[in-house]
Amino acid sequence: MATILSGIGSFTLSASVLGTETTEAAASAENATAANSSATTGDTVTISPEGLRLAATAAQKQDEDSDESASATKIKDKMKDIQKLIRELQEQIRQIEEENLSDEQKRQKVQMLQSQISQYQSQLADLQKALTGSSGNPGGTRAEGASMSLT
């Protein structure tokens, strides 16, 4: 059974596990050689089953990384939207403070908007945790065996 691996650098590798089949690329190369007698044949590469397995694993990992990247982009977009909403609410608070309202009315409106800002900030923190995969230690982890003192 012939296997074609692509996406490894700028090469396309072809390997035959049984060594009896040829790939379309190899067949077309043979046809091109037959058509042009001055052309030389290319190198033959044989990849072990272990190499094929490792290449497949690497390709799968690359797919997973691109999925994670797309997810991270969505999270970042949501974070930007929430940050924009927070800025808009903060602007509304500034406008309320300038309005000709009683102190009690201003206080109630500002309190309501601050409550919304708190909710958005909580959502923002949750998204940040999802983005970093953090379990609550935003500063990273202390190196094992590291001293707590600089002296």
Q: Supply the DSSP string of 63-132, one letter for each residue.
A: HHHHHHHHHHHHHHHHHHHHHHHHHHHHHHHHHHHHSS--HHHHHHHHHHHHHHHHHHHHHHHHHHHHHH
Is position 138 within any domain? Answer: no
DSSP of 17-70 = SSS----HHHHHHHHHHHH-TT----------HHHHHHHHHHHHHHHHHHHHHH
- What does the CA dihedral 86, 92, 94, 97 come to, rounded to 10 degrees? -140
Is position 144 within any domain? Answer: no
Shared domain for 109 and 71, answered yes or no, is yes
Q: Which one is predicted more confidently, 53 or 7? A: 53
Long-range contacts made by residues 57-61, C-beta under 8 angstroms, separation at least 24? 58/8, 59/5, 59/7
Is position 61 within any domain? Answer: no
Is position 30 within any domain? Answer: yes
Shared domain for 38 and 73, answered yes or no, is no
Shared domain for 38 and 89, answered yes or no, is no
Q: Count how many domains the chain has.
A: 2
Mind listing the pLDDT tens digit for each residue in 35-76? 554 556 778 888 888 888 888 888 777 777 676 778 888 999
Q: Which one is predicted more confidently, 10 or 47? A: 47
Distance between first and last Cα of the chain? 65
Is position 140 within any domain? Answer: no
Shared domain for 117 and 73, answered yes or no, is yes
Cα separation of 29 and 12, whole Å? 14
Is position 120 within any domain? Answer: yes
Shared domain for 72 and 119, answered yes or no, is yes
Shared domain for 82 and 118, answered yes or no, is yes
Shared domain for 32 and 71, answered yes or no, is no
Owning domain of residue 93 = 66-132
pLDDT of residue 123: 93
pLDDT of residue 17: 47
